[in-house]
Amino acid sequence: MKVGIIGAGISGLTAGRILAKAGHDIKVFEKNAGYGGRIASFHPANNASFIVDHGASYLHGNSREFIDFLKELEDHQLITKWSDSLSFFSDRRLLTEHPAREPEPYYIAPEGMNSIGKYLGRQLDFYMSEKVGGLTHIGGSRINKSPWMINSSTINVFEADAVIIATPAIQAYGLVAASQDELALRRMITVLDDIPYTSTWSFIASYEKRDSVDWKGIRCKHPVLGWICNESSKRDTEDELHLVAHTSDTFTKKIINRNDPETLNDQIKHSLSQILGSWAGRPKWSESHYWKYHFPKKNLDIPYLESDDEHAPLALVGDYFQGSSMEAAYLSGLRLGNFWADKFS
């Protein structure tokens, strides 16, 4: 069976690798140039030898399936334990541990979080920088001809026997709505219509190495910043300190319409100096990245969503199913992958 997967995040890649192992032909379409979705890494423009994680900073979870996955990644030396607790900033105080959180293991990828996406996608065919503009149901059955046509924003079209949409819910809504002449898909739209997302700016900054920075990550109760990660605690950065700060959803929504990146960066640097000290407001260099769909604010109490058209299989997976974390995304892809591997054996 030819399966088209839209989105190269952890949920789509997890479902894809299960189906590939079951003998299906998997093609993944990703609008960006990199693997992993929110498990994203990149090389700063002025330092190609160093990598930073500007999406998800770490992995953690409690389910048996996800713990098994973390063990698999650890056995392949892709992740390593980073910390058992994270720091917390509130009321102008920086605490070494979050007072409301129990210790639990947090894992990071020394070679960058996107190395996990590359690992998951080893057996899959990819079309990178290929934005899917819509789906066309062309009828038929899986026996006689493929029921789906995947239409890219370029001139390319791809036939598929089944489709998995592994994008944020808002983007999935757009793709499903474009095919809403199909009754089975109209019911899916009503479910997707009410899942809002938080947004954030990832602010990447580099400083002269400071031995006094002994924390690894800080959750912030602050009007501008929600999270600060010490990237230099993950890998050797020689004589530099690298930080990644994520803005709060409230601040991001407030600033995004101003189209004023200089003011944005100034406010983030000022906030860093409030939390860490005046030195944090004077980086040697900085870059920023906008995550329009950061975390879903609501989730569906099901592991995935599937069309009931037996002749044109279509399903949605992602972190908005039973959670909002990387663990939720993985479990969504895992459960659909296992279900389809059995259903279409």
pLDDT per residue over 185-232, tens digit each? 777 788 888 899 999 999 999 998 777 688 999 999 999 999 999 999
Residue bearing tokens 């959180």: 101
The string of DSSP letters for 197-237 reads: B--EEEEEEEEE--TT---SEEEE-SSSEEEEEEGGGTS--
Using CA atoms, how far apart are residues 173 and 250, in angstroms rounded to an integer? 24
Q: Quick: pLDDT tens for 146-174.
A: 899 999 887 788 999 999 999 999 999 98
Q: Which of 225, 234, 240 is nearest to 273 (CA)?
A: 225
Query: Over 70: is that where the pLDDT of 45 sits?
Result: no
pLDDT at residue 184 is higher than 70: no
pLDDT at 126 > cutoff 90: yes
The conformation of residue 34, written as its DSSP 8-state character, comes to S
Long-range Cβ pairs for the range 251-259 (8 Å, 24+): 251/223, 251/224, 251/225, 252/198, 252/199, 252/200, 252/201, 253/199, 255/201, 256/199, 256/290
Which pLDDT score, from 0 to 100, does residue 341 have? 98
Q: Residue range 261-265: average pLDDT?
A: 83
In this prediction, residue 254 carries a pLDDT of 87
Query: Which of 51, 42, 79 lies closest to 240 in space, CA to CA?
Result: 51
* Positive or negative: CA dihedral 19, 20, 22, 23: positive
Q: Mean pLDDT check: name the lowest of 44-53, 124-133, 163-172.
A: 44-53
- Residue 237 confidence (pLDDT): 74
Distance between CA atoms of residues 294 and 23, nearest Å: 33
| CA separation, residue 253 to residues 83, 145, 184, 286, 290 (Å) | 31, 46, 34, 21, 11
Lowest-pLDDT range of 254-258, 265-269, 291-295: 254-258
Q: Residue 181 pLDDT > 70, yes or no?
A: no
* CB burial of residue 22 (10 Å; 0-12, 13-18, 19+): middle
- CA gap 36, 315 in Å, rounded: 19
pTM: 0.94
